[in-house]
Amino acid sequence: MSNFLDNLNSSQLESTLQMDGPMIVIAGAGSGKTRVLTYKIAYLMTQGVDPFNILALTFTNKAAREMKERIAYIVGDEAKNLWMGTFHSVFARILRIESHKIGYTSNFTIYDSDDSQKLVARIIKELNLDKEQYKYKIIFSRISSMKNNFISSDQYINDDEMLLSDKISNRPKFHEIYKQYVERCFRAGAMDFDDLLLKTNELLNSYPDTLSKYQNIFRYILVDEYQDTNHSQYLIIRSLSDKFQNICVVGDDAQSIYSFRGANINNILNFQKDFPDSKIFRLEQNYRSTKNIVNAANSIIEYNQKRLKKNVWTNNESGEKISVNKLLTDGEEGRFVASSIFENKMKFQMHNSDFAILYRTNAQSRSFEDALRKKNIPYRVYGGLSFYQRKEIKDVLAYLRLLINNDDEQAFKRIINFPARGIGLTTLNKISIEAKNKSVSDYTFIKNYSKSSSILNSSTKNKLLEFVVMIESIKTKLESLDVFEITKEVLKQSGLYNLYKNDESIEGVSRIQNIEELLNGIKDFVENNDKGQVSVSTFLQDVALATDQDNESNDNNKVALMTIHLAKGLEFPFVYIVGLEENLFPSAMNLNSRTELEEERRLFYVALTRAEKKIYLSHVLSRYRWGKPVDSEKSRFIDEINEEFIEKNVIQNSIARNFSNDNQYNKVGVRYKKPEKKLPSNFIKIKSSSLKSNLFDSKLAVGNIVMHERFGKGRVISIEGVGGDKKAEIIFEKNVVKKLLLRFSKLDIIS
């Protein structure tokens, strides 16, 4: 493939042909940066550079594998000799060779996250520390952060500021845990993932001859996704490239979205300072998206102050404008998206896999899963289990199952010691044997026979009976309370809520969000079903039907549901970016500084640039929080998009009609229903009896004087929308301005 360079545009070709010296390639979304990196390596080899002298670093094994395959297609089997892989895999390879210098054997063990966390948990237990105060996942996360910032345990112990911070956070013994963890790993001849970087830095800093050896080996260094590198990775790259300075980094500062994993955007922003003689190349032509999408994304990222200048453009068609959709509730948001996907599939003859729903947090998947399922649209949740298959959700459902069926053995076994009650496996085995002898379920045994049992000690009996009392007390309320109220009782009395609420780890935050979303879903179920159909049993039946589809087939033709972080690097013809409300996106946790806000905006930029043809944005006026409707404010990011690239839609009437006529949807007892509480102040909901007056009133015009039964006399200052979405802005007495949906409002025209 001697003519492979013919596949490059002028900008791509220029950066590919530059062989020597430091260089940075600023590559906009969809601009072909992977192609440039691949062809550049192939070009170096065609120019006589030995593949053993080329180091190419990526962030995923998949990316490394695909690049190597492409290179092999161009230059042949010599591609096998490249030093190419992830940071961790390449440096693990080096450490296998050089580990004896830092006191390890070449066959050292590599601990995964689970191994590391279990070791931390053991150390906390051995030190007799409060496991609630010292949650092992939080402690391990902090240890990882220290290592990625190149702060050893010895340095930590001598840092008064850090020690003071630990005291303030009521974890004064963190330094001891850190020290013991490091020592235990060393004694075990083990390294964790962070050590693979930390120890490589240690090796290169402590042994100049070793550094010189690898500097001479790696005469050409190429780094993909440079904006995602952390401090430890940065130091290694700087050290290895210092001699020949033939370093090429490729990345996009606008797609730096992993600071929570230690990524430092300053690495790419300061590259030219680190290498004053560096050349800069810009890949600005987007091959993925329409003009409207590219220009909208550009208008967003301009709000960030910390960025490298580039002007992304495309020769693609203008395409459709970005659709901004305002819905009433999160339930209706799910139904709108599902219906839109169905209509687009039919209209354009698209595959399910051509559609993606992107959200800020995993917990948001629930409403979309429910709506897609009711439309018989297959979907796949990426980066996690389907909502009802998540551990914390199955825990709550197990309690509900046991409430209505005491003989449900699986539910019993799942929750009898969760949260922990001191009921171990030995005890459960004894109970099972005795229950079998009496031909009753395990629960029935401990309820009716455990008090007189000779195989259980008094302490165990008390624990078991406490569990029974809790279950039975909630059972007494099954007839009088709906499933929403019962679930709240379960969360409170079982201790599940406190267990997850007190877990400050990333996993803990995610779990409490999922618990909250379960409550929201149950509340939606209650409000959208007749009073006699809101029991625990009917809800569990609905969930059972929901999870039938989780019997996965090998069919990949499914709508993709994922967080925006997971979507990076992917592309889809149709993209739905949902939940665009303040404190959700941008996240409330990332509004404490400009740095955090700018990363949230970059995340939105990444979401926009996943789309090839069409983008739908959606936000709601009222979103459930712990089962209660709370007013939501539209995300600032929507307003930051230049208006010429968007079209706005207010409350989709067509969706209401679509779902109300959907027989399958009605079969499961759910109907389209507008919220009855807490709509924003600029929207007025009037009793249904008032709808007869001026639905879609075509006579109303700007300047008309009108009378409203609640707000009195007012003057129409603007009218927008058509049909059922027609809305009037009216200034009433005392300069009170209200926006009224005409289909909800009873107005008498005075003049």
Catalytic, 34? Answer yes
Residue 33 is among the residues annotated as catalytic for this protein? yes
For β-strands 279-283 and 705-708, DSSP reports them as unpaired
Q: Which of 224, 599, 600, 662 is catalytic?
A: 224
The CA-CA-CA angle for residues 239, 241, 243, to 5°, reads 95
Which member of 192, 195, 225, 600 is catalytic?
Answer: 225
Q: Distance (Å, rounded) from C-alpha 395 to C-alpha 393?
A: 5
Residue 710 CB neighbours (<10 A): 11
Please list the alpha-helical segments (H only) found in 405-535. Answer: 409-415, 425-437, 442-448, 458-475, 483-494, 496-501, 506-527
Look up residue 310 and give its amino acid. Answer: K
- Residue of 375, 610, 614, 743 marked catalytic: 610
Measured between alpha carbons, how far is 49 from 47 in angstroms, rounded to an integer? 6
The residue annotated as part of the active site, out of 12, 16, 34, 227, is 34
Active-site residue, 112 included: no
Q: Tokens 């100049």 map to which residue?
A: 208
Peptide bond into 680 cis (omega under 30): no
C-beta neighbour count of 206 within 10 angstroms: 11
Partners of residue 584 on adjacent β-strands: 587
CA end-to-end span of the chain, whole Å? 78
225 as an active site residue: the answer is yes
d(CA 517, CA 367): 9
The answer to whether 610 is a known catalytic residue is: yes
Name which of 640, 641, 130, 562 is nearest 365 in CA terms.
562
How far from chain centre, in Å, is Cα 746?
A: 43
**DSSP run (H or E) holding 282:** strand 279-283
Rg over alpha carbons for the chain, rounded to the nearest Å, is: 30
Q: Which residue of the set 58, 86, 229, 255 is catalytic?
A: 255
CA-nearest of 646, 644, 66, 599 to 305 is: 599
Please list the residues that pair with 625 across neighbouring strands. 628
Residue 653, amino acid: N
User: Does 255 qualify as catalytic in the annotation?
Assistant: yes
How much of the chain is in helix, strand and coil states, percent to nearest 5?
A: 55, 15, 30
Best CA proximity match to 326, nearest among 741, 682, 649: 649
Strand-pair partners of 25: 250, 281
**For the CA atoms of 403, 407, 412, 416, what is the dihedral angle to 10 degrees?**
80
* Active site positions, annotated: 33-34, 224-225, 255, 610
